[in-house]
Amino acid sequence: MPRRLTLPEPSQGGRGRIDKLLASVYEDVSRATIQRWLSEGRVSIGGRVCGPRELVAGGVVVEVEEGAPPPSEAAPDASVPFEVVFEDEHLLVVDKPAGVVVHPARGHVTGTLVNGLIARGSVTAELLGEEPASPVRPGIVHRIDKDTSGLLVVAKSAKVREGLKQQLARHSMERQYHALTLGVPPLGRVESLHGRHPQARLRFSSAVREGKRAVTHVLEASALAGGEVALVRCRLETGRTHQLRVHLSERLHTPLLADALYGLGRAPRSPAVAQIAARLGRQALHAATLGFLHPVTGEALRFEAPWPRDLSEALAALRALTPR
């Protein structure tokens, strides 16, 4: 049975996009779901089906045939390793180990964090399949690379996910990373455009003519192994794919230790550092700190994840090479 609703007045007056006006009525339903209802022809005015981006005036009565979310394409997998740092009825914060992909994608259909969350029962049916472009990311708010370890927040409802995504868009979510770099980067703010590399499609680049704005803050850098390596702390202002790896490599010329994709062909000078990098076998990057306001309670939450064993062993070995 369709639901009859009266649309509110647009905030700027005049006419507003129907998906945005509906989102203000359906506070517990994500914009993605509303757009899917529109694309499926479930929203009408006077018997006429509305377009996904149609402009309408406030006070118009619409009929909405609310659709159930499609089933997720992600299968449960209880073998996926991850640690739950915090959990309540609205969200959870996990510490993802290196080697685990966040959500299913080409080449990684199973064994991802999402598969593990579904097996654990941490993702509700409300969220399964709610991403219209890819029904395999239920609850995922942000991502870190497969071979990066550290903290992620996962939503348990559409309302919570949208609230967390708004904090990401406002750059108010705190995300600090610890890293080991080849060379000592200068401290300060790095800003660039960010987009696909024009020749290497697996990579991203700051040397593009068109792209999204990317901002990284390098907060601390301590020299190790005679300055060949540095222990670095960075803060993300924006969160583009591979952003830290690109900025450290292309803009600061200090790529992550053992980063095969963005290492610029740069090998460690000393055999001892080269051995440490080979033993590590993955980019030396860890999402160490995550802070945000709880979208439901308003409480300020902040979490820190200790270094995993592989990075701790690499750091100890590098410190042993550092002159006193």
For residue 112, count CB atoms less than 10 angstroms from its CB and return exposed for 0-12, middle for 13-18, buried for 19 or more. buried
Amino acid at 176: Q
CA 46 vs. chain centroid, Å, equals 41
Does 309 lie in the same domain as 223? Answer: yes
pLDDT at 135: 47
The predicted pLDDT at position 320 comes to 95
The continuous run of DSSP H or E covering 220 comes out as strand 212-224
Q: Are residues 193 and 322 in the same domain?
A: yes
The secondary structure element, H or E, covering residue 23 is helix 18-25
Tell me: do 108 and 156 sit in the same domain.
yes
Exposure b/e, 18-45, CB count within 10 A at least 16 = b = bbebbbeebeebbebbbbbbbeeebbee
Q: Both 92 and 29 in a single domain? A: no
Rounded Cα distance between 62 and 157, Å, is 25
Q: Which of 19, 145, 147, 259 is catalytic?
A: 145
Q: Which amino acid is at 78?
A: A
Q: Tell me which residue of 257, 101, 241 sits closest to 178, measured CA to CA.
A: 257
Q: What is the DSSP letter of 70?
A: P
Say if residue 180 is in the same domain as residue 304: yes
List the CATH number of the domain containing 122: 3.30.2350.10
Cα 271 to Cα 219: distance, rounded to the nearest angstrom: 29
Final residue before a domain boundary, out of 126, 152, 170: 170
Q: Are residues 300 and 213 both part of a single domain?
A: yes
Q: What confidence score (pLDDT) does residue 217 get?
A: 98
Q: Tell whether 176 and 324 lie within a shared domain.
A: yes
- Model pTM? 0.76
Structure tokens at 57: 């005036």
Residues 179 and 259 in one domain: yes
pLDDT computed for residue 28 by the predictor? 59
Q: Residues 165, 187: one domain?
A: no
Cα–Cα distance between 149 and 171 in angstroms, integer? 21
- Note whether 184 and 240 are same-domain residues: yes
Domain boundary among 24, 40, 64: 64
> By three-state DSSP, how is residue 127 classified?
coil
> Are 93 and 53 within one domain?
no
Domain tally for the chain? 3
Single residue among 64, 85, 100 that ends a domain in this structure: 64
pLDDT at position 248 is 98
Please tell me whether residues 243 and 255 are part of one structural domain. Answer: yes
In order along its 324 residues, the chain shows pLDDT tens digits of 788 888 888 766 678 888 888 877 776 566 777 888 888 889 988 889 988 888 888 888 889 988 765 555 567 778 889 999 999 999 999 999 999 988 776 666 678 898 898 888 877 545 544 444 344 466 788 999 999 999 999 998 888 888 999 999 999 999 999 999 999 999 999 999 999 888 877 889 999 988 899 999 999 999 999 999 999 999 999 999 999 999 999 999 999 999 999 997 888 999 999 999 999 999 999 999 999 999 999 999 999 999 999 999 999 999 999 887
For residue 105, the model assigns a pLDDT of 67
To the query of whether residue 310 is one of the catalytic residues in this protein, the response is no
Instruction: For residue 39, give the CATH number of its domain.
Output: 3.10.290.10
| Domain ranges, residue 91 | 73-170
